[in-house]
Structures are given as C-alpha cells and as structure tokens.
Chains A and B, each alone.
Chain A
C-alpha cells in the first residue's frame, strides 16, 4: 500500500501558473472574447412556468434596424425521440433540444423560446421584446410531493415511470424509481433499541458561480464551427453541440476560455448551440451572454427534495438498520441527482441492513444540473441529523457514535461497491482531537454541531502531452479547464516525476483540436485523473530521456538511472547529466521529445469529511451566526495544500449558504421572485468567520501519489452540522432548509 512519503514538489505551495494573469485582469474569460464583426445575441425566455406554445411571430423583431437574425426551435434539426450518450449517462435528445429552445411547451419561467443576433446587445434585447409568442397557459406544479400526486398537472405526455426495471402505462411526473437494498432491514429495525424516523424538506438552490454563461460561435465558409466559451469541459460541449445540431464533431472546435466558477453548473450547454444557430444564420461571429436573472431562471439549480430517514441502533450505539426515501425534483426534464444521493446517504457507516428508495420527479422549474457532490448534501442533511438524534437519545458523543459505526476498507456500501482503503475513521478521529471540539461552548443560545459526509469521486478520461524545452523546462498541454488551481496541481505531478521545480512547467489548457479527449472538470476528478495523465506523460518523457542519455554515453538504457533530477550511468561508466543539461542536447541525440499520457483510471478514491460548527441563535430575529467552523477532510494526498484548503473552505461556505439563506422563492404562478444576488442571498465575507480546513491524508491506492478528489465532499456535512448546532443552542430540531430567520422564528413559536 502507498505510504505517505516526502516529495520534493508535491505538498509544497508554489504560486499558481495562471496567477499573475488573474490578479492583473489579463486572464480572458468567455465574455471577454472579441472578434471583428462580432454580433451580440440575446435570448427571449418564457414568462410562464407551464404553457403550450401556440405560435411564435418574429417578424417585428426581424424588422428592427440592427437585427441580423432570429432563431427559434424550428432552426434546430428535429432529433426525434433518440437517446444520446454524452459520457455523463444517456440523455433523451428531444429533452436536450427542448431545453435549448422550447418547441411545443415551455416548462419553467425562463425557458428559452427564441434568440436574436444584432449589432449591439441593447438592440438584441429590444428585439426580444418584439417577438410575439402566443401561449396557452397551464397550471404549474412546483413541489416534488405535489408532482407525485395522481391528479398533478403532467409536464410530459411521453414520460412513464420506470421502476425497478418495469415501465408504467400512464404518463407521470415520476420519471424513475430506484432502490438499493442490503441485508434485512426489517430484522435490523427489530434488533434496534432506539429508532428515529424524521422527514426533511430542502429548497432549490443555485450553484451561484459569479460568471454568467457565455458563448461565441462562428462558422467558417468551409463549415468549420468554432465555439469560444467558458465551460467545465470543452469536449462535452463539442459532444452536446454535435448531438443538438446533428453536426460532426470533426467540424466543431471548442476553445475553452477561462471559467468563472462552475460547481457542476457549466457542464450542460444552454446558449452554446444558440450562438451556433445565430452564427449560421447571420454568417458572422455571434456572442451570446446571459444576465444574472437568466442564470437563475434558465440554468441548472440543484434540486429541492423531500426526504424521510429512519435509523435504528442498539443501546450500545451500534446502528442496526437504516431506511431512506428520497424524492428529488429533476426540474423540467428527468435527471435529478437522486442516484448519487442514494449512493452516498449512509456511506459514512457500516450498516448491515439498509433500504433506500429514490424518485426522480419532474416539476416546473429549470432542469437541474450537478452542483458539488450532487444529491449528497440533500441526503446527508437527513441522515446526519437522525444520527445526531440517536446519539443524543443514547447519551453517546456524536463523534463517538460515528467512530463506533464508521465505514472502513472491505465494508459494503448499500448500493453495492465494497469500500477500498478509505479515511472515514481518520477524519472523525481528527475532528475529535481538534481543539475546536473540546473548547468550552456553554453560553446561552450558543450551540455546537457535527456531521460527516461522503462523496465517491470519479475517474474518467484525461490526456496530457509534454513538450520538452531546451532550457530544462517543459510545456504541459492539457484539456481540463482550470477552475480552482488545477494547472498547478497537475503541473506539480509532472514536475515531481522529472525532478524539476513546479515553476519549470508551463501548463496550457487548449482547445479540442489540440489535445486528446479529456472529460469534464467535475466529479472531483481533475487533480486525480488529469494529474495521473500528467504523471504518465512525465514518465514517458523520463523513459525517452533515459534512452537519450544512454545514446550519449553509448551504454544500454538499462544502465541509466534517474534520480533527483540527474541521469547517471550505472554498471561501469561514471557519467552524470542533469535533466536540464540533457534537455539542451536533444537535438544531437535524435531530436525533440514529446511525452504523452492518457488514462481512464478505475481507482478513484472516495472522500470523507467531518465538520464541527459553533453557532449562536438570535432569539429575537431568528438569525443564526456561524462563530467557529472546522472542516476535516481526507484528501488522500494534498498536491497543493493551499488549493486543497481552498476547496474545503469554499465547499463548506457554499454549504453554510445552503443551510442558512439560499433558496428559490416561488409565487403561485411559478415565478421565481428572488432572481438576483440581492434577494438570493449567498454568504458574504461579513457573514463568516475563518474556516479552519484540516487535511487528513490516507493515500488512495488508485493513484501514484495517493490523490483523492477534494472538490465536492466539503459541501456535504454543513447543513446537518448547522442543524445539529442549532438544536444544541435552542433545543429545536430544524428539518427544513434553509434555516432562515423566518423558519427559526416559526420553529421557536414566535411568529
């Protein structure tokens, strides 16, 4: 097994390679792209949450001076009812296309209906108001339990519930029902001395990236389509656009610009195909930008959910059985993350008897998109609150009950997989040993809570090439868009192999014509999988360099070794040359060296986190303040600890927002009434203390340096940790998110 060992580059904190560009304003993000003759596109969106489109008349818009083209769903090829595999699972192509531009029905307020390209953005906006759309308005369904009722308004006549392999006969809003079962839950509950069953409701929340979606598209006369955009994955943009436009991938080049946050929300395409349609129609490059309201109303939030959790334990604290009912809102089209929620909900524990039912339900809200550990935070809010209540009932310390039942290598997750080496126990132990956990906390209305979380992380394909420069540096070419410092964490892994400083690597994120296939920056996979590809590419370089040294010294390559940045001859000749000096002699030994590495690793290592939080509840206003926050997480191996801490801190704070403030607020007509950063309130720095990020390192045997993904799991524990702290403060169990002042006041009986 991998041991934690000392490295020269890994574990250090170099300045990120793209840092200077980003602190000087020079880094070019999607909206910063400029081209000669550029037109500006804007999208007309539905004012109704649910309606048939009777007709669309674009003639008045087309007549406005400055307007160069208008498109509607009629400009999209008719996909039929085809299933497309986009590497992220199968997708119904009609649903995918209808979410780009609605053809027959609008399914949420903000649903795109038409788009205009004009000589400036103001004209494009004005033209949108001149498009006449006749709707037949239908009653909306806005909540998952209502949508599951037999008499609920039906969104799609074509959707039948698939349940455990069977397909229903009647149209339904329930797209699918999944179930995981382990052991004998009935027997397990019979063995329990204490059983707690609670229900939970969570609101719709948005990823909240600061950069709105953007896309610029242009067709060359030869049919070559280029799209400049910010995205979590240039190759997935290419695949989705190819499917939606029915256009060959070989004729599409996607150029990833810098990306201003994604968190899962910049994987699905929205306006990229629209920009392409407008570019086709006008023959000019067209830039389409969303505004903030478009982002809230037209792009993937993460689902609201209704959850029931039942858990049983013996007096000694051994969890004997667990049951979960997870009903997730998919939004307008099927595909909520109820699957991952079901995979993660009880994963911090080794429980012999488990049953989990998950429901994917369509409602008249934007189609949900992944958001950091999608599905797991909703689920953990339920399970981690119930575990806390069981611990309280039994008089056992909440971290102690987690240790008593902690999942470890060889235990089976309820959905099937057996855990490889994991760091669940180590993270709970580190939280328990942290001075925060033992600090006094006895003041009135002050409370402390803990919760754990799990995310499985993914591998998927990545490609890296390395070009060796004559001055001892390397140019590293990768396809993973850098959202949080991954140029550095990937470059450092190549540097470690080659015995050179991180600063001697020049990483570049390039377009889809210039690097091998690389899956999205998501699933906490980038430092793991693209880092792995960089490791392999650097190994390739190393082997080629060894052959060059052997040639130089006229020895067999087997007689050349490489250590600490020096090649040396063994078995006889005493020769030595540094990596840098050998780089200067590539010309005379055979020419340039290009190394490559491609991976699709199966050994992604799951990540665990345990958070400790202190809160104070203002009895008069119901406001909850975070006083102290400690987030412990197993990173496997932290390549660049500062950016690992950053992921932990950022994820925890998104969780704090989800716990305390953030939600889509709808009126009866299904209109979001708070589609701005003023009214959809994300945490500001004034709302927060420092976030103490504690890195635990239990190396992942599935990676050469032991890396686990770090990006997602930190958003899993905060909601339950804060709910448990509120209980500790005021003795009330909060079961609805967000735990905003009005809900606190209601729970305290004050309003």
Chain B
C-alpha cells in the first residue's frame, strides 16, 4: 500500500486532519475516510457533477481533485449547507418545488446552485441552465430544478 499522507484542511468551517493515499480523490476521502457520503459518485470522471463541492470558493468535481491537494484549503460540502435548525433557502426551494425524484444528484445540484448564487445572486433562467449544465439529472427533466434555483435566488 502506498504511504499515506497527513493532510489538514478546513471542512465546512471546522479544521480536520486525515490520512490518505496520494491516489485517493477528494471524493474518496470525503466518503471513505471522513464518512461524509453526501457527495455521490456517478461517473468518477467529471461528467455528472454528483460529487460537486466548493473548494476555496470555487465549484469543483471532488472526483477530479486529489485528497492531498486540499492541504490548507477550505472545502464546503452538502453536509455544511444547512444550519442545524434551518435549511438553506436553496434546500427549501428544492423541497417546495419538488425538484428531486431519486435524489442522488440533489447534493451536487445544491452545491452548484449555491456556488452560482454566491457569485450571481440574480441569475436569469439561461444563466441557471448554463451554470448547472455540468450536473446531470436523469429523473426530473430539470424543469423543477431550474425553477427551484430561480425561486431560491428570489428568496435570498
């Protein structure tokens, strides 16, 4: 087994330390080492967006980032989006709009939508569709997802 590296990073606002092999992706580290399974593996090559997280303020596919690359950085995952007693407006909007069916892509969409609204609080429908084009959903046809993100933008 390859020698494991020690990594310290900020995860959802808390300092965490973990050991990981150099070949392990951030997605593997989150899921298998830190037991945060909200980020999902749909393709493991950056095409589906189900593993989306925010790294130093930037939306990334966690399957395309190595765990060791997060040393000294800040990672936001779906587990850190809601307050303990209150959902984020995007999460509320997804529920109100019935913007999920099976739900496997939902954490990734919410992270993408959050990254969008952090940068552009009042997107047009086209801007939402452009921004979310890196996230695949096979259940909904996207209609209710796009409406949810527009509603969340209006609510914030």
**Quick check: A484 and B102 within 8 Å, CB to CB?**
yes
List the A side residues contacting B82 at CB < 8 Å: 23-24
**Quick check: B102 and A261 within 8 Å, CB to CB?**
yes
Closest to B47 in A: A677
Question: How far, in angstroms, from A647 to B107 measured CA to CA in the complex?
Answer: 20
Question: How far, in angstroms, from A207 to B104 measured CA to CA in the complex?
Answer: 15
**Quick check: B50 and A649 within 8 Å, CB to CB?**
no
Question: How far, in angstroms, from A677 to B79 measured CA to CA in the complex?
Answer: 26
**Quick check: B138 and A654 within 8 Å, CB to CB?**
yes
**Quick check: B44 and A25 within 8 Å, CB to CB?**
no
Q: Per-residue CB proximity of B113-152 to A under 8 Å, as 1/0?
A: 0000000000000001110111111111111111100000
**Quick check: B78 and A24 within 8 Å, CB to CB?**
yes
**Quick check: B137 and A15 within 8 Å, CB to CB?**
no
B111 to nearest A CB, angstroms? 9
Scan residues 695-724 of chain A and give those whose CB is less than 8 A from a CB of chain B. none
B17 touches A (CB below 8 Å): no
B66 touches A (CB below 8 Å): no
The one of A20, A263, A676, A683 in contact with B47, judged by C-beta atoms closer than 8 angstroms, is A676
Of A29-37, A88-96, A312-320, A358-366, the one contacting chain B is: A29-37
List the B side residues contacting A553 at CB < 8 Å: none
Question: How far, in angstroms, from A70 to B152 measured CA to CA in the complex?
Answer: 50
**Quick check: A23 and B87 within 8 Å, CB to CB?**
yes
Question: How far, in angstroms, from A688 to B125 measured CA to CA in the complex?
Answer: 11
Interface residues on chain A, number (Cβ under 8 Å): 64
- With A32-B37, A685-B146 known as contacts, the answer to whether A22 contacts B140 (CB < 8 A) is no
**Quick check: A25 and B138 within 8 Å, CB to CB?**
no
B15 touches A (CB below 8 Å): no
A501 touches B (CB below 8 Å): no
A121 to nearest B CB, angstroms? 8
The one of A20, A208, A211, A646 in contact with B101, judged by C-beta atoms closer than 8 angstroms, is A646
Best-surrounded residue of B35, B41, B47, B138 (most CB of chain A within 10 A) = B138
Question: How far, in angstroms, from A643 to B97 measured CA to CA in the complex?
Answer: 10
Question: How far, in angstroms, from A51 to B106 measured CA to CA in the complex?
Answer: 41
Q: Per-residue CB proximity of B84-113 to A under 8 Å, as 1/0?
A: 000100010011111011111111001000
- With A24-B87, A34-B35 known as contacts, the answer to whether A210 contacts B98 (CB < 8 A) is no
A292 touches B (CB below 8 Å): yes
B55 touches A (CB below 8 Å): no
A221 touches B (CB below 8 Å): no
Interface residues on chain B, number (Cβ under 8 Å): 58
B54 to nearest A CB, angstroms? 13
Question: How far, in angstroms, from A27 to B137 measured CA to CA in the complex?
Answer: 17
**Quick check: A688 and B35 within 8 Å, CB to CB?**
no
List the A side residues contacting B145 at CB < 8 Å: 685
The one of B44, B101, B104 in contact with A292, judged by C-beta atoms closer than 8 angstroms, is B44
**Quick check: B141 and A211 within 8 Å, CB to CB?**
no
Q: Per-residue CB proximity of B24-55 to A under 8 Å, as 1/0?
A: 00000001000111111111110110100000
List the B side residues contacting A651 at CB < 8 Å: 141
**Quick check: B81 and A210 within 8 Å, CB to CB?**
no
A587 touches B (CB below 8 Å): no
B155 touches A (CB below 8 Å): no
List the B side residues contacting A678 at CB < 8 Å: 45, 47
Question: How far, in angstroms, from A26 to B39 measured CA to CA in the complex?
Answer: 10
The one of B40, B78, B143 in contact with A649, judged by C-beta atoms closer than 8 angstroms, is B143
Question: How far, in angstroms, from A110 to B141 measured CA to CA in the complex?
Answer: 29
B119 to nearest A CB, angstroms? 18
List the A side residues contacting B110 at CB < 8 Å: 23
The one of A19, A28, A66, A688 in contact with B142, judged by C-beta atoms closer than 8 angstroms, is A688
List the A side residues contacting B143 at CB < 8 Å: 645, 649, 688, 690-691, 693
A13 touches B (CB below 8 Å): yes
The one of B41, B103, B129 in contact with A686, judged by C-beta atoms closer than 8 angstroms, is B129
**Quick check: B98 and A643 within 8 Å, CB to CB?**
yes
List the A side residues contacting B106 at CB < 8 Å: 22-23
Question: How far, in angstroms, from A748 to B40 measured CA to CA in the complex?
Answer: 42
Scan residues 330-350 of chain A and give those whose CB is less than 8 A from a CB of chain B. none
Question: How far, in angstroms, from A34 to B104 measured CA to CA in the complex?
Answer: 18
- With A210-B105, A485-B101 known as contacts, the answer to whether A19 contacts B40 (CB < 8 A) is no
**Quick check: B94 and A677 within 8 Å, CB to CB?**
no
B23 touches A (CB below 8 Å): yes
Question: How far, in angstroms, from A682 to B105 measured CA to CA in the complex?
Answer: 14
- With A211-B104, A263-B138, A484-B101 known as contacts, the answer to whether A677 contacts B78 (CB < 8 A) is no
- With A15-B96, A24-B81, A485-B101 known as contacts, the answer to whether A211 contacts B45 (CB < 8 A) is no
A153 touches B (CB below 8 Å): no
Best-surrounded residue of A123, A207, A646 (most CB of chain B within 10 A) = A646
The one of A24, A259, A654 in contact with B102, judged by C-beta atoms closer than 8 angstroms, is A259
Best-surrounded residue of B41, B78, B100, B104 (most CB of chain A within 10 A) = B104
Q: List 8 A-B contacts (CB under 8 A).
A: A23-B110, A210-B48, A260-B42, A261-B104, A483-B101, A650-B101, A651-B141, A685-B145
Query: Which residues of A line the B interface, CB within 8 A?
Result: 13, 15-16, 18-20, 22-29, 31-32, 34, 65-66, 120, 122-123, 207-212, 258-263, 289, 291-292, 483-485, 640, 642-643, 645-647, 649-654, 676-678, 682-686, 688, 690-691, 693
Known pairs A15-B95, A653-B140, A693-B143 / 18 extra A-B pairs, C-beta < 8 Å: A23-B103, A23-B110, A24-B87, A24-B91, A25-B36, A31-B31, A210-B48, A210-B136, A210-B137, A211-B104, A261-B139, A263-B138, A484-B139, A645-B144, A649-B142, A688-B129, A688-B142, A688-B143
A-B pairs with lowest CB-CB distance, top 9: A25-B38, A260-B104, A653-B141, A642-B98, A22-B103, A649-B141, A25-B78, A677-B47, A484-B101
Query: Which residues of B line the A interface, CB within 8 A?
Result: 1, 21, 23, 31, 35-45, 47-48, 50, 77-79, 81-82, 87, 91, 94-98, 100-107, 110, 128-130, 132-147
